[in-house]
Structure 1
């Protein structure tokens, strides 16, 4: 039987399990599992279903112990590349980091436990020559719209569903997207642009009181540079927010 082996970092921060564990990738998943994907594996004496991330795939592996199998794949495509996995290994070896912490550094902002893979249909409605299983999947997607990969697998219990989804994606009948939940606050930066409607500088300055020297200086500066961030404008001209706000109020 054709099989491969995957080395998996388990989602467990205990120091005694801070190492890759080897699992069998059997024939149903052999074309699906890739480095950088999250998987579900049985772990520990109780075979608790646990999330992990694949960091290496082997064609051969010798072991005196009986190996367990990867149960399922959580992602349609790798979250990170092999190159970034290799970088995380280098970080662990050179900075005495744990595997999980090293992997976290190379992942997109967020937590790899809170990654959601969504499936939805495309505008392509050419459903000719689809198998019964493929039609069943497309019917569900058309009725439900965007759906979590995990929910789709629960509702449609088809053997080898991951491989079927890959085929449908190759046919451009569906698309997958990955969303990572993050607690990192997004910062918005304020930008300033002069609205001159093609007017010459002299005409624009006519609408500004000659005593408002700072406002006139801002107008002349913006006329030359075009668009600039509020922070850079304030720093370059030592302009107060009041002067800039006054110009905004004048339109």
Structure 2
């Protein structure tokens, strides 16, 4: 029997942070788009496995895999697993990250180092493996943040890590010239996830919700919709930071 034509096989997506609020929605959306999805998790295997079951129950294909995105060997094994399970990698969506907040003058340097390790080193390693392995016609989608532009007080350390993500994204898009691979970042604004809402009182949440002309917080499905577009039909969107924030400026 002849080997199947790879172009007729389902595209394969690796979603880091796939057990998180936005990562969960992205995993579901890409599976609904027909992709086989490897749902990465850092420590929450139970949630990741629930997502895999939900995708499978809906007729999709998914598996879960745990790894530290800042460990080069574990990141390589994550991509090895995707290739072993599904034959290759076409889409990498890097949602994994942490957000620790404080004014610059009071910021704990151990927290800064922790964010640097996960948000910057983690993005670098995931992009490195993605760039080495992703197939022609593929897409790499990083996660930045609208706070890089909005400059909210207390977000100095976090915004600095996401500014680094922006730089990596724009440069990698150029470095992959000739590969037919797009590299972009989405930059969500205030989005109703546990990560964003943690520690905020209702008055703060209401203020943030009113920043957008649409007068609400984003929800994970809003972000997943943009990821689906960039990872799928939007082949002429490349080397961009796409602000997905409802019009917050």
- Under TM normalisation by the shorter chain, which class is it? under 0.3
Task: For CA contacts below 8 A with separation 6 or more, give which structure has more relative contact order.
Answer: 2
TM-score (ref. length: structure 2): 0.22
Q: Which protein is bigger by CA-based radius of gyration?
A: 1
More helix by share: 2
Report the structure, 1 or 2, having the larger strand content: 1
